[in-house]
């Protein structure tokens, strides 16, 4: 929330000022937020930023610098988790530090790409590659930018420098006309905030561990998990919408123009709210939730594992990285293991329905569409809640107790489908269809 007055000050007094003043402003305000929340523990972020700058300067545009950055920043973060984590939801210096860790790793990779021949890079890598040599003040301003320091979103150094140079505006030569788009995201975030605040005392993960929950019928336990699984994500939705509004207000959210000439302000969007609320697939939720972090993992981790020659292996390793990045609790590993399993099964099921004439004809019956949608959403959010149970309860003794109470339904359901669907595909997809696909 403090980002809004900071953004207004920046817009009216600093937008077209000298770069060093803007970097100083971002550094000072970010450090102030860090001190307000974490006191003297702000030295953790300061230390990692200074050391990262030294790695870039001393090791240059080398793979050694990239690997050193990855190892140092991740080990520092994991050590922080090890020494500070409890069995509850921790809001400590490690929370913004996980955001900073990705920023600094991405910075090192982009700096490394900047030293390569442009023709050897993909179009995406060319967009983010850093050709110049960042100063310490630039790295600090980039890292401490008040609109993203605490909870994200992720953005590149090149995008940040466009902001500093006054390029991120829909009206060249003037401050961006972004007040209304920013207020829309803020207002939407406040709607989620009010809803979460009013309902959070009544829908809690702690209830999953009670005897009262265990004593209810099986259907009730599943329905509670379904409702809680959707509701628990709203605190993240709230934070990302509010901070996105700050980014839009400064101009950082500017993302060019649509075909009709209307300005787009979604460069820092971490949520696609309509897709999140309406899409009945797990892949839809993944595509609409924590967008910039997922894009970061895809850009700097998943696609860099192309040499492995196995998409599923690359995806599995990316999710393992995400689990460790979130923390050392076993619940994170279980949650992302479930995501990996569910996405594979969902793709198999979609392929079967698409290629089987019987199932595709059945799926096309208009009058049954609402029923299909209801069934899909029920399965979707029940097992989203199942996965989030481990994520939010952290330790094995807690999530194992809840999983036992519903007989490991999620694991049994998706592991069964993982083995059944290939045989169903053989039985239900005509050989001609398979030969046509091969051709």
User: What residues are labeled active site?
Assistant: 290, 326
CA distances for 219 relative to 4, 214, 408, angstroms: 45, 11, 14
CB 87 within 8 A of CB 328: no
Residue pair 292/236 in contact by the 8 Å Cβ criterion: no
* Look-up of token digits 């509850």: 88
CA 436 to chain centre: 38
Neighbours of 304 (CB within 10 A): 15
User: Which parts of 356-408 fold into alpha helices (H)?
Assistant: 357-363, 369-393, 396-405
Specify the DSSP class assigned to residue 401: H
Structure tokens given for 95: 């929370």
What is the secondary structure of 283-340 as a DSSP string? HHHHHHBSHHHHHHHIIIIIGGGGGG--HHHHHHHHHHHHHHHH-S-HHHHHHHHHHH
> Residue 21 has which token pair?
């003043």
Please give the Cα distance from 4 to 241 (Å, whole number): 13
How far is 376 from 183, CA to CA, in rounded Å?
34
| SS3 at position 152 | coil
DSSP 387: H
In terms of phi and psi (left: phi > 0; alpha: psi -120 to 50; beta: otherwise), the region of 269 is beta
- How many Å apart are CA 168 and CA 251, to the nearest integer? 5
22 within 8 A of 252, measured Cβ to Cβ = no
Residue 257, classed as helix, strand or coil, is strand
C-beta separation of 209 from 153 below 8 A: no
What is the H or E stretch that residue 108 is in?
helix 94-113
Nearest to 234 by CA among 182, 289, 295, 281: 289
């Amino acid at each position: 929330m403090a980002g809004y007055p900071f953004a207004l000050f920046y817009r009216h007094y600093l937008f077209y000022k000298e770069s060093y003043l803007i970097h100083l402003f971002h550094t000072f305000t970010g450090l102030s937020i860090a001190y307000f929340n974490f006191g003297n523990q702000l030295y953790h972020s300061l230390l990692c930023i200074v050391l990262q700058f030294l790695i870039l300067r001393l090791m240059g545009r080398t793979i050694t610098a990239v690997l050193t950055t990855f190892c140092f920043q991740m080990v520092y973060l994991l050590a922080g988790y090890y020494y500070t984590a409890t069995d509850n939801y921790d809001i400590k210096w490690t929370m913004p530090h996980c955001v900073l860790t990705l920023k600094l790793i991405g910075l090192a990779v982009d700096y490394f790409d900047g030293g390569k021949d442009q023709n050897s890079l993909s179009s995406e890598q060319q967009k983010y590659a850093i050709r110049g040599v960042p100063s310490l003040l630039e790295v600090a301003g980039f890292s401490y930018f008040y609109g993203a320091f605490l909870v994200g979103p992720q953005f590149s150094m090149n995008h940040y420098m466009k902001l500093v140079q006054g390029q991120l505006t829909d009206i060249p030569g003037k401050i961006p006309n972004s007040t209304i788009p920013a207020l829309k995201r803020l207002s939407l975030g406040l709607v989620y905030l009010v809803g979460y605040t009013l309902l959070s005392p009544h829908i809690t993960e702690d209830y999953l561990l009670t005897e009262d929950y265990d004593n209810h019928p099986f259907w009730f336990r599943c329905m509670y998990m379904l409702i809680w699984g959707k509701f628990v994500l709203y605190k993240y939705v709230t934070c990302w919408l509010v901070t996105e509004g700050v980014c839009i207000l400064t101009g950082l959210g500017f993302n060019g123009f649509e075909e009709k000439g209307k300005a787009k302000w979604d460069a820092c969007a971490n949520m696609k709210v309509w897709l999140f609320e309406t899409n009945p697939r797990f892949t839809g939720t993944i595509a609409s939730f924590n967008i910039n972090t997922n894009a970061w993992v895809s850009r700097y981790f998943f696609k860099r594992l192309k040499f492995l020659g196995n998409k599923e292996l690359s995806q599995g390793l990316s999710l393992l990285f995400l689990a460790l990045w979130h923390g050392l609790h076993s619940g994170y590993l279980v949650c992302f293991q479930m995501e990996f399993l569910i996405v594979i099964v969902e793709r198999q099921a979609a392929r079967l329905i698409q290629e089987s004439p019987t199932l595709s004809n059945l799926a096309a019956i208009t009058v049954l569409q609402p029923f299909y949608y209801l069934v899909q959403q029920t399965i979707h959010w029940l097992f989203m809640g199942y996965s989030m149970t481990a994520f939010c309860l952290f330790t094995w003794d807690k999530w194992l107790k809840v999983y036992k109470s519903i007989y490991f339904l999620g694991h049994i359901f998706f592991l069964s489908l993982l083995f059944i669907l290939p045989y169903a595909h053989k039985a239900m997809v005509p050989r001609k269809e398979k030969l046509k696909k091969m051709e």
